[in-house]
Amino acid sequence: MLSVGIFEAKAQLSQLVERVAQGEEVLVAPEASSDASALADWTAELRAFRRGIDRGAKPGSTLSELIAAGRR
């Protein structure tokens, strides 16, 4: 994961958007620092946790099925 500061992100926004479109993860933090890597670790843990939650709908469900699952 790439970590950049806000000023750098502002200066290179189009390049960062292209990288994200290609699937790379980019973290924009007040300053590019080790705190940003801690935030990146926390984000990865949160994504892993969310993958394990049963939301009541199967992958490939239609929008109406997802809405119905959310109403239960």
Q: Which two tokens stand for residue 17?
A: 């958007």
**Tally of CA atoms within 13 A in the half-sphere of 56 that contains its CB:** 10
Where residue 68 falls among pLDDT bands split at 50, 70, 90?
confident
Residue-wise pLDDT for 2-61, tens only, equals: 888 888 899 999 999 999 999 988 888 776 665 666 777 777 777 777 776 666 667 777
Question: Which residue shows structure tokens 């890597």?
Answer: 37
- Distance (Å, whole) CA 33 – CA 19: 20
